[in-house]
Amino acid sequence: LDAAIVEAARVALWPAIDAHIRGSVPNRGPGRFFFPMPFEPPCFSTAFMFNPEVLAVVRIMLGERYVADQWGCDVCAEGSAHQGVHVDYRRPLFEELPDLRVPAYMIVVNFSLAPIGRADGIEIAPESHLLPREHAIAAVQADRIPLELVLLDPGDILIRHPWALHRGSPNVSGRPRPLVSIRYVRRWYSDGSREVSTVPAAVWNALTDEQRAVMRFPVATT
């Protein structure tokens, strides 16, 4: 992603991140906060949600009929510990067959606003989304699938299958570490699993019809 746009978002978001850490109860484990990203520019930019190269990958994974249904930020701060390894979705397609192997129907795109390094990283178990959940967890616990630390520079993009096991590692960098997320899902899938912000009318009105068709978010009327 363009460095200047990412930096503008970081500068605009930082006070909200600070206020959130001071004023809220961690909701993703000790020292960890998820909050819905605002749609006010420059925190939001069409360059983030409609990046042509990312959308080319989304189309390969999900087909032409997809929508974005999450725009959020995971912040890990001082006091965070290793999360338990987990997946990022709430409802399998068929509750009675949670391990049924089907083509992807959602994909998560993360990008960093600030450098993400060894002191505040996120670890992913590659290919663990291909295994039944119990097997995947056992393989990670026995180190048969080693967790890989993902290091990101500002604007680097991480595209991941939400079924892949992962965990945030402790933040010992001395500053909060934000990781922005966009989730794209096939149009027919919905699980309301994360809180989302409302799109201001002015932002909505500035989008093209094609962009609006991809945005599944509440929109302000005035």
Ligand X SMILES: O=C(O)CCC(=O)C(=O)O
**Residue ranges in contact with ligand X by CB under 6 A:** 28, 32, 34, 74, 76, 88, 122, 166, 168, 179
As given in the structure block, the two tokens for residue 10 are: 């970081």
Cα-based angle 191, 85, 95 (whole degrees, multiple of 5): 35
Judged by beta carbon, residue 28 or residue 216, the one nearer ligand X is: 28
Specify the residue, 69 or 88, whose C-beta has the smaller distance to ligand X: 88
* The pair of three-digit structure tokens given for residue 37, joined into one six-digit string: 């990203």
Query: Minimum distance between the CB of residue 121 and ligand X, rounded to whole angstroms?
Result: 7
Give the residue closest to ligand X by C-beta.
168
Place of tokens 């080319």: 56
| Nearer residue to ligand X within complex by CB, 177 or 186 | 177
Residue 29 CB, shortest distance to ligand X, in Å, is 7
H/E stretch holding 201 reads helix 201-205
* Complete DSSP assignment for 19-75: HHHHHS--SSSTTEEEEEPP-STTTS-HHHHT-HHHHHHHHHHH-S-EEEEEEEEEE
In whole angstroms, the minimum distance from the beta carbon of 74 to ligand X comes to 3
Comparing CB distances to ligand X, the nearer of 65 and 82 is 82
Q: What token pair was written down for 186? A: 């096939």
What the block records as the tokens of 30 is 């000790």
* Rounded least distance, CB 87 to ligand X, Å: 9
* Nearer of residues 41 and 92 to ligand X, judged by Cβ: 92
Answer yes or no: are the C-beta atoms of 70 and 215 closer than 8 Å: no
Distance in Å, CB of 168 to ligand X, minimum: 2
